[in-house]
Amino acid sequence: MTRALTDVLAETLSDLWGAGAVEIRDLARPTAGAHREIHSFVAVVGDRRRKLVATLMPEHIQGNPATAEAGIIRLAAEHGVPVPAVHAVVEDAADLGRAVIISDFIAGESIPRRVLRLAKERGTGRAIIGQLGHAMARLHGIDVARAPVDLRSYPDAPSPASAALAAVRESVGGLESPRPVLELGLLWLERNLPHPIGSTAIVHTDVRNGNIIVDDDGLAAVLDWERAIRGGDPMEDLAWAANRMWRFGVDDLEVGGLGGRSDLVEAYEAEGGTFDVARFEWWKVLWALRWALGLADLARPVVTGTSDNIVWAASGRRIPEVEWDLLMLLRRDMAAGTGGGARR
């Protein structure tokens, strides 16, 4: 694999730069990339050196194809969203059996607890959330018609919320055993389904602490665009970033353990975004429910006795934690008997 990857990188960059032979040095696997294989390396041409990253797409695509992901990153960069510059896409590297995206290496921290530590040391947490709010508003302001043609899109439905609700309804119905808290969450979502929005947007769907790079100056880059989608609700991006699982123990700061909701909203609106608290809170419940369902799906082979994978078993043990999150999100309804969602 190492030799094959080195050859692909050298050939691709030589063709791209037209500068003769490119030597690939210092190929390494950084501690990043939960689902994809990521390598940092240095490309050398004569006395010039450039540090880059090669992202190898999964053999079985779970999100956007490489061309769509590279296209949306480039489009986001055009509109002022901080992202690594994409240099090349190898759609089908024969020696590797999968596509490769070659982009700039961005120095900084991406591991969530290190991000929190750096932000605390520098006092930059609120600034990072403000920068994130600006970045999301710029993304959501892009004309949907400019999205790559092969970018994922929501299925035909009255709204992004109704499409997402249909998907979680099916997943709740397919659980191995009843889970009353998840059923309660589904009932709340059905009763509080937002009205269709006037216009949809390109949304990242996975903006959070863990998918950003932070340096001494704050937000350096937004990463992991494989789940970006056209025709989404901007509030789904803001709500996902604010769910408790991305705070990593700093629960008093709603957005990634770095800053409060007001920090995010003020920056988002200052950049031209429109914040809707009811839709935001609806998406927070939807995302918590979907996260619990994802854990249940990972644990399914262990529950059915077809696997003894300890990681999958541990995923199942986390479901009650997310059920608690759901109950805390819904607690105001349960106390008052109303349709409004509580904040957490």
Parse the chain into domains and list their residue ranges.
2-104, 156-199+277-344
The SS3 of residue 29 is coil
Whole-number pLDDT of residue 57: 86
In this structure, the dihedral spanned by the alpha carbons of residues 235, 236, 242 and 246, taken in order and rounded to 10 degrees, is: -160
CA distance 127 to 97: 42
Distance between CA atoms of 268 and 270, rounded to whole angstroms? 6
Rounded to the nearest 5 percent, the helix, strand and coil shares of the chain are 45, 15, 35
**pLDDT tens, N- to C-terminus, the chain (344 residues):** 566 889 999 999 999 988 778 999 999 987 655 567 899 999 999 888 999 999 998 776 678 999 999 999 999 999 999 999 999 999 876 677 789 999 999 999 999 999 999 999 999 999 999 999 999 999 999 999 999 999 999 888 889 999 999 999 999 999 988 899 999 999 999 999 999 998 899 999 999 999 999 999 999 999 999 999 999 999 999 999 999 999 999 999 999 999 999 999 999 999 999 999 999 999 999 999 999 999 998 888 888 888 888 888 888 889 999 999 999 999 866 555 544 444 45
Cβ proximity of 104 and 53 under 8 Å: yes
State the architecture of 2-104 in CATH terms: 2-Layer Sandwich (3.30)
Determine the pLDDT at residue 341. 45
Cα 76 to Cα 264: distance, rounded to the nearest angstrom: 19
**Which pLDDT score, from 0 to 100, does residue 54 have?**
95
What is the H or E stretch that residue 116 is in? helix 112-122
103 three-class SS: strand
The pLDDT assigned to 335 comes to 53
Name, in order, each residue with C-beta under 8 angstroms of 216's C-beta and a sequence gap of 6 or more: 118, 122, 124
